Amino acid sequence: MRLVLVGPPGAGKGTQAQYIASNLSIPKISTGDIFRANVSGGTDLGKLAKTYMDRGDLVPDEVTIAMVRDRLSEDDAQDGFLLDGFPRNVAQAEILRDMLKDWGQALDLVLELVVDDDEVVRRLAGRRTCSQCGRIWHVEFDDKKDDKCDACGGALFQRDDDKEETVRHRLEVYQEQTAPLVSYYADEDILVGVDATGPVEEVTQRAMDAIRPFMG
């Protein structure tokens, strides 16, 4: 299964990607996570990406695409993958399509996680991430009173780009650059919208129901 998750920042892509990828036994490939790992590791890629991420802008396509090409070339991605956060504009989508075609592959399905702006802002304002295992939590919805990860005990942190001003800009970037992907993939007949409101488990259930008809 070759799957893409689209949706605004805070829609729950990372949260759902954990469960969907594990249900389908495919690797979860999150460009945001790979960029953040490079930022923490102080690599050249991380230094470059950080200037864009801190502003809430997209990292240039050239850099992002090269990184995704490398990741998709790895052994574990040959029989399927779940992309979270890529593609994020039509140019990236076109290059992904051509790249897969060269390898005799194609996307099976694009899931759009649908939530309104108010909910997105609430979700991002309370988002916390585990510095050890990368799990995503929410201060209010997960009732997190301490700053420790319930899964591994690691320290939780708030992402720099989840500050209110940066969030506003990321939502504009989403509307301008990423939202056009919805009609792009609808035209290709591989888009399914999923209501991403309500409890996490219910959203996962809806996503799995949407995926099942596309499984070979």
- 128 noted as active-site residue: no
Q: Which two tokens stand for residue 185?
A: 């993939």
Dihedral sign for Cα 192, 198, 203, 206, please. Answer: negative
Residues whose CB falls within 8 Å of the CB of residue 125, separated by 6 or more in sequence, listed in order: 162, 164, 167
Is 88 noted as a catalytic residue in this protein? yes
> Taking the CB of residue 79, how many other CB atoms lie within 10 A of it?
12
The footprint of ligand ADP on this chain (CB under 6 A) covers a number of residues equal to 34
Cα torsion at 197, 202, 207, 209 (round to 10°)? -130
* Closer CB to ligand ADP, 21 or 58, in the complex: 58
Contact between residue 22 and residue 76 where contact means Cβ atoms under 8 Å apart: no
Please pick, from the candidates 170, 171, 181, 211, the single residue that binds ligand ADP as defined by CB under 6 A: 170
Which stretch in 40-48, 49-57, 71-79, 97-105 sits in contact with ligand ADP by CB under 6 A? 49-57
Stretch that binds ligand ADP, among 13-21, 72-80, 100-108, 179-187 (CB under 6 A): 13-21
* Helix/strand/coil for 104: coil
- From the candidates 13, 28, 123, 128, which is the catalytic residue? 13
Which positions lie near ligand ADP, rule CB under 6 A? 7, 9-15, 31-32, 35, 52-53, 56-59, 64, 85-86, 88, 92, 123, 126-127, 136-138, 141, 161, 170, 199-200, 203
Residues labelled catalytic: 13, 88, 127, 159, 170
